[in-house]
Amino acid sequence: MKRTWILVLTLLLAIGLAADPALAQPKVLKVSNGVNEQHPSYLGGKKFGEILAAKLPGKYDVQVYANAQLGDDVRATEGVRMGTLEMVTTSASPLTGLVPEFNVFDLPFIVTSEKAADAIYDGSIGAKLGAALEPKGIKLLAYYENGFRQLTNSVREVKAPADMKGLKIRTMQNPIHLEAFRAMGANPTPMPFSEVFTALQQKTIDGQENPIPTIWLSKFYEVQKFVSLTGHVYGPHIVLINKKLFDSFPAEDQKIIAAAAQESAIYQRNLNRKMNSDFVAELKKAGNTVSELTPEQKKAFQDAVAPVYATWEPKIGKALMDEFKATVEKAK
C-alpha cells in the first residue's frame, strides 16, 4: 500500500515537472549558412540567438552552422520548407522556384544603393514577397544583405563586356544569372557556393561573382587575380524559418522572434557595409588588381543585359517591377 502511494506521488511529480515550462528543454533552432564563420550573415545569426536568449531565457537555443554543413542554399531551403531543418539564411535564388517574383532581386543593376535596398527590404515589397512564401510553408523572418556582387577572375582585367568574352564564370543556380552573364559575353556555369573555391583553384572555372566581404573572407583572392567593381546584382541573404514550427510557438514568442530577427538584420547590414569598404583595401594589399568602373563603363554592362529585363518582365510581373524601380528611385 505504502509502495503504491510512493509510486503515485512519483508519477504525479514527474508529470508536474514535465509540464513546467521553466524546466522544459529549450527548442533548438538550427540555422544553415553557406558562408563561413567570419561572414556577417553567420554573425547575424549568432546575434539573433543572443537577442532571443536575453529576451526569452532558456526557451530557444539558436545554433548557427557555417560552410554549408547543413546543405547549400538550395538543399537547406528545401529542408526548411519540408520541416527537416528549422532555419536557413539563403540567397534569393532557391526561392524563385517557389515564388517567381523573387527573381526581381536578381535583375542586374535594379538596386542602385544600400539605402534603396533597405527601402525594398523594410517596405511593402519585402513584406509582400515574404507573405507569398507562407502558402509554401516558409515564414520570412528578416532580410540580411549579401550586397553588391563584383566579378573576379584569374585571366584578365575586365572593364567592358568585351573583356568577358569566353571567360568561364560560376553563377548562382538561377536562370537570370545565366542569361545575364551570357548577355555580357561570358560563359556561365551554375554551381553551389560550397564548390566555388576548389573550382577556382583547379581552374575548372576562370572566375566567379560575389560581394567583397565574401571574396575576402572566403579567400577567393588567393586563387583570383582581377576584381572588377561591376556591382551588377545586389543580393539579399534571407532569413527563413519553417512556418508550421513558427506557428506552433506562443503568439508572444512569435512577436519576439520576429523582432529579434529584424534587430539582428540591422546589425548584420551595418557590419556587412563596413566590411564592404574595408576589404577593398585588403584585396589590393593581397595583390589583387581592383578595377573601378566609370559610369560610362558601367553603362556598357547595363546595356548588354537590357534584354534580360524584357524576358523576365512577364514572369516577375510588370506591377512589381515598376513598384520596385519606383521604390529604388525614391530612396536615392
Q: Which is nearer to ligand TK8, 49 or 235 (CB)?
A: 235
Q: How far is the CB of 73 from ligand TK8 (least distance, A)?
A: 5
Q: How far is the CB of 54 from ligand TK8 (least distance, A)?
A: 27
Give 185-194 contacts, CB < 8 A, sequence gap 24+: 185/161, 185/304, 192/34, 192/68, 192/72, 192/73, 192/74, 193/34, 193/35, 193/68, 193/72, 193/73, 194/34, 194/67, 194/68, 194/72
Compute CA 103 distance to the chain's CA centroid, rounded to the nearest angstrom.
13
Q: Contact 49/263 with Cβ under 8 angstroms?
A: no
Q: How far is the CB of 266 from ligand TK8 (least distance, A)?
A: 19
Q: How far is the CB of 4 from ligand TK8 (least distance, A)?
A: 59
Q: At what angle do helices 318-331 and 295-316 cross, to 10 degrees?
A: 140
How far is the C-alpha of 121 from the C-alpha of 124, rounded, in Å? 8
Q: Contact 261/41 with Cβ under 8 angstroms?
A: no
Cell of 55: 529576451
Q: How far is the CB of 38 from ligand TK8 (least distance, A)?
A: 13
Compute how many other C-beta atoms are within 10 angstroms of the C-beta atom of residue 310. 8
- Four-residue CA torsion sign, 63, 67, 73, 76: negative
Compute how many other C-beta atoms are within 10 angstroms of the C-beta atom of residue 319. 8
Q: Which is nearer to ligand TK8, 185 or 192 (CB)?
A: 192
Q: How far is the CB of 127 from ligand TK8 (least distance, A)?
A: 22
Q: Which is nearer to ligand TK8, 193 or 267 (CB)?
A: 193
Q: Which is nearer to ligand TK8, 210 or 242 (CB)?
A: 210
How far is the C-alpha of 164 from the C-alpha of 175, rounded, in Å? 19
Q: How far is the CB of 131 from ligand TK8 (least distance, A)?
A: 22
Q: Which is nearer to ligand TK8, 56 or 103 (CB)?
A: 103
Q: How far is the CB of 221 from ligand TK8 (least distance, A)?
A: 15
**In the complex, residue closest to ligand TK8 by CB:** 34
Kindly give, in sequence order, each residue whose CB lies less than 8 Å from that of residue 116, ignoring residues fewer than 6 positions away.
Answer: 327, 328, 331, 332
Residue 16 burial by Cβ neighbours in a 10 Å radius (0-12, 13-18, 19+) = exposed
Q: Which is nearer to ligand TK8, 66 or 280 (CB)?
A: 66
Amino acid (1-letter code) at residue 213: P
Q: Which is nearer to ligand TK8, 87 or 256 (CB)?
A: 87
Q: Which is nearer to ligand TK8, 60 or 221 (CB)?
A: 221
Q: State the residues that interact with ligand TK8 by CB under 6 A.
A: 34-35, 73, 90-91, 146, 172, 193, 210, 214, 235
Q: Contact 40/271 with Cβ under 8 angstroms?
A: yes
